[in-house]
Structure 1
Amino acid sequence: MPDYGNYCPVSMAAEVVADRWTPLIIREMVLGNTRFNDIARAMPGISRSLLVQRLRHLERRGVLETWPAPTGRGSEYHLTAAGRDLERVIDSLGRWAIEWLFDELRPHDVAPTTLMWWMHRRVDTSALPPGRTVIEFRHTAPDPTTIWLVADHGEVSVCLQHPGFESSVEVSASTPALADVFQGYCTWREAVDGNRIEVAGPPRLVDSLPRWFLWSPWADVTRERADRAAPPVLDGQIATPH
């Protein structure tokens, strides 16, 4: 396929970042994912061969670099200065979609594992209590499943099987209810007060849990846009306008 040509800066940029999946790969790296499997998990639907192809393309175009992993096994991908400068592009794309494609967004379509993967990368480890913290998420619908987030020594892991540690706090909710909070359609407190989310555990942990998460990078703009829209249906209930 011929290039667009070098006479227009927009066409030149499009040749670097406008292929299918490429903006999402950059999004993941902007959010701190550096390992191949971590990037792949955040984008269900992309094949491993295509991800390899896109990463090589971005490396050739100077957007990322491949570094040896600190463990000595495998590699990591790190944004260059040019790649880090694309953060404002990714942020603008997200904000534009929320503003102009709001009625087409389908936040409730996210799978439990994908949502938990998104949430784990948005944990503020500095806000966690000292020691190991295990958050048990019981997804009650539409696909009942239990997933654990385990935070220990500044690292957060997603466990699809019991991690072997006692849960510090337990959260029960449908996946759509959790997605509403993560993406900014309502706050954690509103979901709890509306009985869409139930939390069990020591009161100090239950109270502080919402502060452990940074939520979606676009949660604030989503909330602002939702307030200007008709009252959305949240987990089977019509939310009260604010």
Structure 2
Amino acid sequence: MLQNVKFGMSGCLGGSCKMNYNQFCPIAKAAEILGERWTILILREVLMGGRRFNTLQRGLGDISPALLTKRLKQLEDQNMLIRRRIPGQKGFEYYPSEACESLLPVLFALGEWGVIWAKHTILDQDFDAELLMLYLERSIDLDKMKGQETVIKFRFSDLTEQRDWWLLVKPEAAEVCLRDPGRDVDLYFNCTVRTLSEIWMGDRTYRDAIREGDLRLDGDPALMRNISSWLRPNMFANSPRSPGEARIPA
């Protein structure tokens, strides 16, 4: 009689449980890999170029180091990630497997669904300056930046702590700085975290935010004229914003 009982979790050894729905349905099998908390966001970070533990944790925010370590090990065991030792160092880098890379259109579709159907669940506390700055760092198109160095300063008027952030852009990389790098600033952004998040996500335009008094820019006129060319918008910037605009599969 017990052989017909199905358990939602199996393989519990040493306090580690593997999610198991005991169904042959491919959605159920996919959920066994992707359904654990944080898993999809970890894969998002890896697919966006995050390779090292600290970089992944930076993009995930509240996840504990212990849980991130556990999830990375699970994803490696499930052939979603490939772990490689960093030459000459103690740490590891994580690369997407072929199975992981094939999830990119799935995650994009999930994100587009979220833009339409989950946007109403966004709360004020969801607008996180650290996550926004990480995304802006990744969004700089280095090929469009002229000169050996560009310094961009952001002042977020809605923050009481760490109001000022800097992006130091060089030909080889862009880097977020929490302290004044001691260089001349080429462009100043003054706004709230929410305003810049909405602009980067594609919900507002720079022109509208400036006209409505929610964004003030100052600095190099060339940088201000061409912001959208060197600061690439979010991948969902051109996605449908309402059910009526959604693309219907053929």
Matches within 5 A, 1:15-164: 15-69=32-86, 72-106=89-123, 109-143=126-160, 145-164=163-182
Residues 68 and 75 of structure 1 are in contact (CA less than 8 Å); yes or no, is this contact kept in structure 2?
yes
Q: Quick one: structure 1 residues 154 and 108, their matched pair in 2 at CA, closer, same or farther if it must change by over 3 Å?
A: farther
Instruction: Check if 1:203 corresponds to 2:226.
Output: no
SS in structure 2 of the partner of residue 165 of structure 1: coil
Instruction: Check if 1:186 corresponds to 2:220.
Output: no
Structure 1, unaligned stretches of length 5 or more? 229-242
Q: How far apart, in 2, do the equivalents of 1:210 and 1:197 lie?
A: 15
Deviation per residue, 1:119-162 (Å, 9 max, x gap): 21122222222311111001111436000011113211111111
Residues 107 and 179 of structure 1 are in contact (CA less than 8 Å); yes or no, is this contact kept in structure 2?
no
Aligned equivalent of 2:26: 9
Q: How far apart, in 2, do the equivalents of 1:159 and 1:226 lie?
A: 39
CA RMSD of aligned residues (A): 2.1
| Alpha-carbon distance, 1:30 to partner | 1.3
Q: Given residue 165 of structure 1, which amino acid in structure 2 is its aligned partner?
A: R
Q: Quick one: structure 1 residues 114 and 226, their matched pair in 2 at CA, closer, same or farther if it must change by over 3 Å?
A: farther
SS in structure 2 of the partner of residue 33 of structure 1: coil
Residues 108 and 175 of structure 1 are in contact (CA less than 8 Å); yes or no, is this contact kept in structure 2?
no
Q: Given residue 150 of structure 2, which amino acid in structure 1 is its aligned partner?
A: T
Residues 68 and 76 of structure 1 are in contact (CA less than 8 Å); yes or no, is this contact kept in structure 2?
yes
| Alpha-carbon distance, 1:226 to partner | 10
Q: How far apart, in 2, do the equivalents of 1:107 and 1:179 lie?
A: 11
| Alpha-carbon distance, 1:173 to partner | 0.8
Q: How far apart, in 2, do the equivalents of 1:110 and 1:51 lie?
A: 22
Q: Given residue 115 of structure 2, which amino acid in structure 1 is its aligned partner?
A: I
Q: How far apart, in 2, do the equivalents of 1:92 and 1:130 lie?
A: 38
Q: How far apart, in 1, do the equivalents of 2:244 and 2:157 lie?
A: 27
Q: Given residue 41 of structure 1, which amino acid in structure 2 is its aligned partner?
A: R
TM (norm. structure 1) is 0.86
Structure 2, unaligned stretches of length 5 or more? 1-8, 11-19, 246-250
Residues 139 and 231 of structure 2 are in contact (CA less than 8 Å); yes or no, is this contact kept in structure 1?
yes
Which is worse superposed, 203-212 or 130-139? Answer: 203-212
Deviation per residue, 1:7-53 (Å, 9 max, x gap): 12111111111110000011111111111111111111110110111
